């Protein structure tokens, strides 16, 4: 996960440099643009982490029928009940 966070930091630094190079932006507008970049990257990181967690959970759930000896139909019924 650190690798993705590092990539997001790199992208954020690049985007912030681009924002700083835009001419004609007063200080307040630049600060809002910087904040928007931070929010966007935070949201992207949250989505990435959530996707990773869901993927891991699905992989673990796929193992459960084999471990428990439960056939696919009872397992599906149990999963649908919850």
How confident is the prediction for the chain on average, in pLDDT? 81
Q: Strand, coil or helix: what is 20?
A: helix
pLDDT at 7: 75
| Closest-CA residue to 62 (of 74, 53, 72) | 72
User: Looking at the whole model, is its pTM more than 0.75?
Assistant: no
**Whether the predicted pLDDT of 1 surpasses 50:** no
Phi and psi at 71, nearest 5°, equal -70, 170
């Amino acid at each position: 996960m650190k690798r993705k966070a590092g990539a997001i930091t790199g992208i954020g630094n690049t985007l912030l440099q681009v924002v700083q190079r835009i001419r004609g932006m007063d200080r307040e507008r630049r600060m809002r643009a910087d904040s928007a970049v931070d929010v966007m990257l935070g949201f992207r990181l949250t989505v990435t982490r959530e996707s990773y967690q869901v993927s891991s959970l699905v992989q673990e759930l796929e193992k459960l029928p084999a471990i428990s000896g439960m056939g696919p139909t009872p397992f599906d019924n149990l999963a649908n009940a919850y």
